[in-house]
Amino acid sequence: MSDQSLQFNHLAHGIATTILQGFNRHFEIFQRITAGARQRFEAADWRAVQLASRERIVLYDRRIEETIALLRDLYQIRSLDQELWKEVKYRYIRLLLDHQQPELAETFYTSVFCRQFPRKHYTNAFIFLRSSTSTEYIDSEETSYVAYYPGATGLREAIIRILQNAGFTLPFENLGRDLRNIFRALVKCYPGRANRKAQLNFQLSVIRHAFFRNKAAYIVGRMINGREETAFALPILNNEKGGLYIDALIWGEKQLSVVFSYSQAYFMMEHLVPSAVATFLQKLMPRRNMSELYSALGLHKQGKSAFYRDFLHHLKHSSDEFIIAPGIRGMVMMVFTLPSYPYVFKIIKDKFAPQKEFTRQQVEEKYQLVKRHDRVGRMADMLEYSNVALPMERFVPELLQELIETCASSINLDDGNIVFRHIYLERRMVPLNIFIETADGETLERVIEDYGNAIKQLAGANIFPGDFLYKNFGVTQLGRVVFYDYDEISYMTECNFRKIPPPRFPEDEFSSEPWYSVEPNDVFPEEFSTFLLATPKIRKIFLKHHKDLLDHRYWKKKQDAINAGTYEDVFPYPQALRFKRH
């Protein structure tokens, strides 16, 4: 082999090794932050919980920038040498043969490449459009889940062992009571089946480490009995007096799916092989795709990678066209969807409606705020992409024309594709204004009550939606109301909640202009009824459940609690599931 070939191979190997070292450093820091979750939970340090969550989210981009800077410094990488980078990818694949997070390392490599080189090179020759390794059966010395056998030890003892192995150092305030509550809840799950028998394979398979999020820890697993498999979770709370207690029994795929919803903040769950945990979770919730499960574990970049691969596969195996999304047209975002795929695509318009007094950069910052903030199950997570190419032939003429007219600065027409410079994707929901048009009776009352609950829970998490119109909220497949239009959100602490002063003269009430001063951050809650409660049946339901939302004193009280450092309890499961503690 010539000296030139040796030098070429040495350079390729060096670049590949440096990128993998960058990933390893990223994952080490990620794990270190995650590993502190139990200590923060047991110390009831809720502010530290939020800070750690935000720190972990921004970690990835920092390590990418750090790795690129190192490549430029060590190897003088300035432009793309195609043969070199093909060899770099080959060398990188070989380095991953015995790696425990190969799929995450591939995504890291792709990010490093795409941040440096043009979109036309985003092919499988240079990046990992397809994964090169299988994550099936990868595991560490510490297995991802543990099996317990109630047939040998008894169900009570099996649950006690599960709790002991979760690694909590704080004692349970009344474990006997909690176990009785679990048994009572199990009886309700199987009404009329008191004589139900345990089969030969009766077992509880439980993910080894607890999942931490906000003010709770979750033990997650499944019960196997004969051919029946049932997902479950045990939420554990801190009484903030030196003890823990089990708050509920989450039973079945539907209830667990709400806990792992895309509208919730990311979990912290420590394990060296995330693919093994994600695979186990998908067995519990088969309707959740791997993209959502990786994201739920805080690995949102891997979630993006898994989503994009799935989407490209769907696009290749479908023939329907992109259309304008149903609902009222947005003043800031152009929204379209592919009917056969359960997501919407959002692009920031070039010009906003006159009443929208902010810039494109401010809109992007609002979306980043949502990414970093606790979404309390009431704000949809979004996937953010750059330089996404979609085939122009798949767009209906009406949509294509509107994109050209309203989003010209965000798109580029290139060789039969529409290239979106910046795009957001969210789970498709039924807009609340469309949902309530056909809802009636109990369904209407449930959704209006949940709409008010969503506003209250967002307020408790220091989020003021800004625009409460029904069109800015959606109803998920699980029936929950979720906020998804973020261009006017702000922190509660930035608002000035006021009561409208009484008119000075009778003529004031008929004036087109207010008789009182209004500053940019002023909010008058009593005005909400004007644009929300015009329909009598909706007004009656809203006032029954949420009259306090029209009172400035309610909002001031929420604001005072936030300023005092109070973190509200928001549970991703119904109040009816919660156990009684007395």
The answer to the question of whether 328 is labelled as a binding residue is: yes
Q: What is the Cα–Cα distance from 385 to 383, expressed in whole angstroms?
A: 7
> How far is residue 158's CA from residue 148's CA, in Å, rounded to a whole number?
6
Q: Which long-range contacts (CB under 8 A, 24 or more apart) does 7-11 make?
A: 8/84, 8/87, 9/87, 11/75, 11/84
**Phi, psi (5° rounding) for residue 434?**
-75, -40
DSSP E strand stretches across 247-328: 250-251, 323-324
Answer for the pair 277, 309: CB distance below 8 angstroms, yes or no: no
Residues, the chain, total?
Answer: 582
Tell me which residue of 364, 352, 351 sits closest to 409, measured CA to CA.
Answer: 351
**Residue 320 annotated in active site:** no
Question: How much is the CA Rg of the chain, to the nearest whole Å?
Answer: 26
Torsion sign, CA atoms 120, 124, 126, 129: positive
Host H or E run for residue 483 = strand 481-483
Say if residue 326 carries a ligand binding annotation: yes
346 annotated as belonging to a binding site for a ligand: yes
Q: Is 36 annotated as a binding residue?
A: no
Pairing type for strands 496-497 and 522-523 reads: parallel
Q: Which amino acid is located at 304 in the chain? A: K
What CA–CA distance (Å, rounded) separates 284 from 282? 5
The structure tokens listed for 327 are: 């609902």
Copy the structure tokens of residue 72.
């430029």
Catalytic residue among 381, 450, 485, 487: 381
CA pair distance 38, 334, nearest whole angstrom: 42
Inter-residue contact 148 to 206 (CB < 8 Å): yes
- Give the whole-angstrom CA distance, residue 541 versus residue 189: 31
Residue 327 annotated as lining a ligand binding site? yes
What is the number of other CB atoms lying within 10 angstroms of the CB of residue 99? Answer: 16
CA dist 246 and 237 (Å) reads: 6
CA dist 563 and 408 (Å) reads 43
Residue with tokens 């009778």: 506
- What letter represents residue 217's amino acid? A
Confirm whether residue 325 is marked as ligand binding: yes
What span, in angstroms and rounded, lies between the C-alpha atoms of 451 and 468?
10
> Count of H helices and E strands in the chain?
19, 22
Q: Flag whether 562 is marked binding.
A: no
Strand-pair partners of 213 = 216
Calculate the CA 119 to chain-centre distance: 27
Q: Is 221 annotated as belonging to a binding site? A: no
Which residue positions form the known binding site? Answer: 325-331, 346
Which residue positions form the known binding site for ATP? Answer: 325-331, 346
Residues serving a catalytic function are 381
